[in-house]
Amino acid sequence: MDQNRIHGKTVLITGATSGIGESCAYAFASMGTDLIITGRREENLEELARHIKEQYPVEVIAGNFDVRDREACIRFMDFLNNRPVDILINNAGLSRGLEPADKADFDDWDEMVDTNIKGLLNMTRLIVPGMRSRNKGFILNLGSIAGHDSYPGGSVYCATKHAVAAFTRSLKMDLSGTKVRVGMISPGLVETEFSKVRFHGDEDRAKQVYKGVEPLSAGDVAELIVFMANRPSHVNILDLVVMPVDQSSVFLLSRNEES
């Protein structure tokens, strides 16, 4: 069995109120990692904190804020009062809409850019100085296969994930000479609230995305994120691309039409 190198460390997870972030909270707690969980839906955060504390002997701190709001991010970091964050999971993110670029909604674009890029930048800028001064830490960004390729209707979502990929590589270089590790994970299709959010709450349309394929689960991705965090301190996985076996590219899904 793999050695546990993250027991007693502290992980801060953005977007822990559902999907991959929520699964990461359980996966890290099962390793004995203390949690700082954040997101906008306060009720979900409270429920998650309660469930984790019932099951695992770890500390759980919840932060209810919007990563787009830089002042709120700063206030939360002040509240943490220099508590060291060993692992930062920049997970909060979303897609909105699937319209061609010439018909897309400006507000959808703003929301994706402000959350997926600027929110991630806010949290990284606030947390990395502590990691640099301690000469250790791990920043894990949620990329996507949409950060490696583009697809019609995904123009701005794909652009935000390409930005995450570019930023991740630069950040690794900026931290060259330190022992701080930087990486990203680039999943394909994962069944979470992602498609429901993309289609503004249209559950039927969201279900069609996963019809006839076995997508990744949030737990599959969380397991890999824990694996990345748990590597020896000299091992840096820069990018881990993972898709379900039924998916071979952003375009190629093998659907079982009968199911």
Which residues inside 24-63 make contact with ligand 8X3, applying CB under 6 A?
Answer: none
* Three-state secondary structure readout of 17-70: CCHHHHHHHHHHHHCCCEEEEEECCHHHHHHHHHHHHHHCCCCEEEEECCCCCH
Q: How many Å separate Cα 70 from the centre of its chain?
A: 18
Please state, as a whole number, how many other Cβ atoms lie within 10 Å of the Cβ of residue 246: 18
Which residue is listed with tokens 């590790």? 181
- Closest separation in Å from C-beta 16 to ligand NDP: 6
**Which residue, 3, 110, 119, 105, is CA-closest to 69?**
119
* Choice from 13, 92, 98, 250 touching ligand 8X3 (CB under 6 A): 250
| Residue 145 binds ligand 8X3 (CB under 6 A) | yes
Which residue, 138 or 194, is less far from ligand NDP as judged by CB? 194
Smaller CB separation from ligand 8X3, 130 or 143 = 143
Q: Which of 15, 154, 183, 244 binds ligand 8X3 (CB under 6 A)?
A: 154
Strands 60-64 and 87-90 turn out to be unpaired
In the bound state with ligand NDP, the residue whose beta carbon lies nearer, of 6 and 117, is: 117
Rounded least distance, CB 243 to ligand NDP, Å: 9
Please tell me the distance from the alpha carbon of residue 193 to that of residue 31, in angstroms, as a whole number: 25
Query: According to CB under 6 A, which one of 126, 146, 164, 165 is a site residue for ligand 8X3?
Result: 146
Is 161 considered catalytic here?
yes
Query: Which pair of tokens denotes residue 111?
Result: 């929301």
Q: 157, 172, 179, 210: which is the annotated catalytic residue?
A: 157
Q: Which stretch binds ligand 8X3 (CB under 6 A): 35-43, 81-89, 144-152, 171-179?
A: 144-152
CB 216 within 8 A of CB 191: yes
Residues 108-127 binding ligand NDP (CB under 6 A) are 115, 119
Site for ligand NDP in 165-224 (CB under 6 A): 187, 189-190, 192-194, 197, 218
Q: What per-residue string of b and e applies to 105-116 under the rule 16 or more CB within 10 Å gives b?
A: eeebbebbbbbb
Active site residue 157: yes
Burial class (CB in 10 A: 0-12, 13-18, 19+), 259: exposed
Write down the catalytic residue from 26, 118, 161, 196. 161
Residues known to be catalytic: 157, 161
Please report, as ranges, the residues that interact with ligand NDP according to CB under 6 A.
Answer: 14-21, 39-41, 44, 66-68, 91-94, 115, 119, 142, 144, 187, 189-190, 192-194, 197, 218
Please report, as ranges, the residues that interact with ligand 8X3 according to CB under 6 A.
Answer: 144-146, 154, 188, 250
